[in-house]
Structure 1
Amino acid sequence: MDKGYEKERFESISIKTSVAQKFKKFCKGMSRSKSMTLLLMIDFFEDNGISPHESIGPKMQTLESLIKKRINGVIAIMKDIEKNQTKPTVAMMQSLFEQAEPPKKTFILEKEIPKEKPKTRFVERLENDDEL
């Protein structure tokens, strides 16, 4: 039974046999009862404000082309902003930072590391080196 419609009684509608067979196949494909499938179809048409006599194809294509045009317009605006505002501003900021860069100073606390190897304090003596 259909949820929420258990207590309602059935009503009969006269339709042609070929239409009834086609509707039965459609209901099986939807995995719904005939009443629920018909209710879903009616709700769809009412919610979207379309008539079964109208073709959705051209409207969807028109909508798709309109969205593509708007997206292309947004892309053009973003490219223009990048070219005329962002890149010049970044270039000005970089030039300011290059000029204002202070000379590098060594801190007093820094320990200088010698670059030469330290002299060895102990030397290994060989047997022949008795003179040392």
Structure 2
Amino acid sequence: MDSFIGIRFKKETAKRFQEFSRTHFKSHTEALATMLDFFFYNEISPKEKLGPTGRTIEANLKKRINAVIAIMRDMEKTQTRPTVAMIESLFQTEEPKKKPLILERKFVEENKEVRFREKQNHNNEL
């Protein structure tokens, strides 16, 4: 069995460590060993700042995404919709109105007379 040694900490720091250790590890020894291994293997100092936290990164991403959405909406309003409308108007085909030929119109106007009449049958009248 491993032996224990006493280390002196300020009361506030010891309480913070105990609370942290209880929530994440089985024992205080395991908690401290894991923290030391983390700093050793990642070759960083506990005094260094690692950069922005997850919350700040998320907030920045949301801002950028909102900006991209605004740009896309603006593009849709100013470029895409008008272009689509112009292309649709080019491809819309209307049935051309059927105009009679000029010759046909003259022929119809000249021959307004009735050429054939019903023959009246005199036999039926008797």
Please give the range of the TM-score, normalised by the shorter of the 2 chains: 0.3 to 0.5
Greater relative contact order structure (CA < 8 Å, 6+ sep): 1
Q: Which has more radius of gyration? A: 2
TM-score, normalised relative to structure 1: 0.39
Structure with bigger helix share is: 2
